[in-house]
A and B are shown apart, each in its own frame.
Chain A
Amino acid sequence: MGKEQRRLRRIKSNRIIFSLVIAAFLFLPPKVFGLELQGFSDITYTYAWHKKDLTDPNTNGTFALGELDLFIRENLSDRVDFLTEFNYSADPNTNGGSVDIERLQIGYLFNDALFVRAGRFHNALSYWNMTYHHGRQLQTSIERPDFLRFEDAGGLVPTHLVGLWVGGLFDTRMGGLEYDLMGGNGPRVQNVDPATTSGGSLSPNSTGDDSKNKAATFMLRYTPRAIRGLGIGISGNIQQLRFYESDGVTEVPIVSPDGSTTSVVNQQIYGVNLEYLAHNIEFLSEGYQFRDYNYHGQSYLDYVWYAQIGLKIMNRVTPYGRFERWTVLANDPYFVALATQDMSKTVAGLRFDLIPRSSIKAEIRFINTPSDNYNETAIQWAFAF
């Protein structure tokens, strides 16, 4: 069977799965067999100008369907809980779409300080990733910071993990101490162009690991009782990455501009986050250091961070702004494989909450990279149901 036939068959089966999910959603009562179906979606218009890459549809001014995210949660007993999340996203290449199992987790609650879960989760490395993920209605801005995009959309940090998750919350006199420990399949970099050894994207290896080295993530977050709304966290992730062509089988050694070659990268990511969410103020910030080691032991240090601030007025209107910066080394094979370069992005926007479950947002973005400087405007209508 040819590659094109397999692709068409996959699209057809995705459409059938999605149709069944939608049919269940439309024709069954909201609570069926004890399960409640909830979700998020949005419609967004984006226009980019002064952009050199005219193949980007945003340069034409584009309406885009957001992802349709459906999740089901249920406590199967007082201690056993279950959560699954499907995501249907439109594919700009086919004008079709694909269904992903975003989360599928079963857990056991021993006490408030200890739960154990197995399955596929949101990676605890990032506060934004854990808190908002596909819920665009939940986040103030239209888009998440670019380095926190999902693996298949150009993200730089792992946003999903398949394996085991241990976590809990210690309630102390000084405040809450929350922890998460995750271990599971390490990601791979796929769709690398063998000619340039670049242009790849992360994949969380949901159905099988390509190496014996597992990924591990930790997160520790403190919320002091004395200052309501303040949260401070540290996190880390270790993993090993290999690089593959689009067939997912053929490995591609990555060639850096300085001529060094490697087929594997051992990676450590360390992060800090600081949030303040009270008195109608929203302040979010996260910063990460990447320590990448190639096959020969050469190390590379890279940094990405963002800070966002917003102020809710009259309980409905939130002006906000965000600055994001990437500082990456040109010879780091991980960023060569992902075709990543230095970037800064400034976002200014306004969000209007129609109701607690629906909002309209408008923003302007200024993007600067070594190869292009351009601007975007976007309007989004987001909702939860």
Chain B
Amino acid sequence: MIAGKSFPVDTLTLDGIKEIYKGEKQLIAGVRLKPIDQRDSQTIRSQFLNKVLNFSGDEYVTYWNNRLFREGGIPPIPQNNSGEVITMVQETDGAIGYVWLDETTAAKANLRILLTIHVRQ
């Protein structure tokens, strides 16, 4: 889990990540959180939804349909691939995203790695 250097905390827990991607946690230290999602076509998305959030792709769509209707707010913003996620978290205050660990190497100097989650593929 990555964020830009201006992100208000250095680390997050797994439960914290779940709350952010479910829209339950919206602010940290007064900064509005902007979770970044990836497109369906990316393998990492299904891994993230299934193994971190415990949702299937359809369930996650349904969850956000319900939540947006009930609460309003902004759902996770989809990006085409990990490169776009890395760019977005660097440029956007409060943005947080997920990428494979080895994809962070080139941009490591401008990123904050909030949590490393080991998943079996």
Chain A positions near chain B (C-beta within 8 angstroms)? 38, 40, 71, 73-75, 78-79, 81-83, 105, 107, 109, 111-112, 122, 130-133, 135, 137-138, 169, 171, 176, 225, 228, 315, 353, 356-357, 384
Contact with A along B1-37 (1 / 0, CB 8 A): 0000000000000010001000011110001100000
**A71: nearest chain-B partner, CB-CB:** B69
Nearest first, the 4 A-B pairs at minimum CB distance are A78-B32, A83-B72, A73-B72, A356-B61
A73 lies within 8 A of B73 (CB)? yes
Interface centre among A78, A171, A228 (most CB of B within 10 A): A78
Q: Hey, which chain B residues are within 8 Å of A138, CB to CB?
A: 62, 65-66, 69
Q: Hey, which chain A residues are within 8 Å of B65, CB to CB?
A: 135, 137-138, 356-357, 384
B25 lies within 8 A of A81 (CB)? no
Q: How far is the CB of A157 from chain B (nearest CB, A)?
A: 18
* Contacts A109-B26, A109-B27, A137-B65 known; 16 new A-B pairs at CB < 8 A: A75-B32, A75-B73, A79-B32, A81-B72, A82-B72, A111-B27, A131-B66, A132-B66, A133-B70, A171-B25, A176-B24, A315-B58, A353-B58, A356-B58, A356-B62, A357-B65
Q: How far is the CB of A290 from chain B (nearest CB, A)?
A: 25
B69 lies within 8 A of A133 (CB)? yes
Chain B positions near chain A (C-beta within 8 angstroms)? 15, 19, 24-27, 31-32, 54, 56, 58, 61-62, 65-66, 68-70, 72-74, 94
Give the number of A-B contacts (CB < 8 Å): 62
**A78: nearest chain-B partner, CB-CB:** B32
List 26 A-B residue pairs with CB atoms under 8 Å apart, sorted by A's residue number: A38-B69, A73-B72, A75-B73, A78-B27, A79-B32, A81-B72, A81-B73, A82-B72, A83-B72, A107-B72, A109-B26, A109-B27, A111-B27, A112-B24, A132-B66, A133-B69, A133-B70, A137-B65, A138-B66, A171-B25, A176-B24, A315-B56, A353-B58, A356-B61, A357-B61, A384-B65
**A312: nearest chain-B partner, CB-CB:** B59
Q: Hey, which chain B residues are within 8 Å of A83, CB to CB?
A: 72
Distance, CA A130 to CA B68, complexed state (A) = 12
Interface centre among B26, B32, B58 (most CB of A within 10 A): B26
Q: How far is the CB of A137 from chain B (nearest CB, A)?
A: 8
User: Known: A131-B66, A135-B69, A384-B65. Contact between A169 and B74, CB under 8 A?
Assistant: no
Distance, CA A38 to CA B70, complexed state (A) = 13
Looking at the complex, which one of A38, A75, A112 makes contact with B25 (CB distance below 8 Å)? A112
Distance, CA A356 to CA B31, complexed state (A) = 32
Q: Hey, which chain A residues are within 8 Å of B66, CB to CB?
A: 131-132, 135, 138
Looking at the complex, which one of A74, A75, A171, A315 makes contact with B19 (CB distance below 8 Å)? A171
Q: How far is the CB of B47 from chain A (nearest CB, A)?
A: 18
A130 lies within 8 A of B70 (CB)? yes
A38 lies within 8 A of B68 (CB)? yes
Distance, CA A79 to CA B25, complexed state (A) = 13
Q: Hey, which chain B residues are within 8 Å of A169, CB to CB?
A: 24
Q: How far is the CB of A361 from chain B (nearest CB, A)?
A: 15
Q: Hey, which chain A residues are within 8 Å of B24, CB to CB?
A: 112, 169, 171, 176
Distance, CA A40 to CA B68, complexed state (A) = 13
**A138: nearest chain-B partner, CB-CB:** B66
Distance, CA A81 to CA B68, complexed state (A) = 12
**A84: nearest chain-B partner, CB-CB:** B72
Q: How far is the CB of A8 from chain B (nearest CB, A)?
A: 34
Q: Hey, which chain B residues are within 8 Å of A81, CB to CB?
A: 72-73
Interface centre among A105, A111, A356 (most CB of B within 10 A): A356
Distance, CA A71 to CA B70, complexed state (A) = 11
Q: Hey, which chain B residues are within 8 Å of A228, CB to CB?
A: 54
Distance, CA A132 to CA B94, complexed state (A) = 30
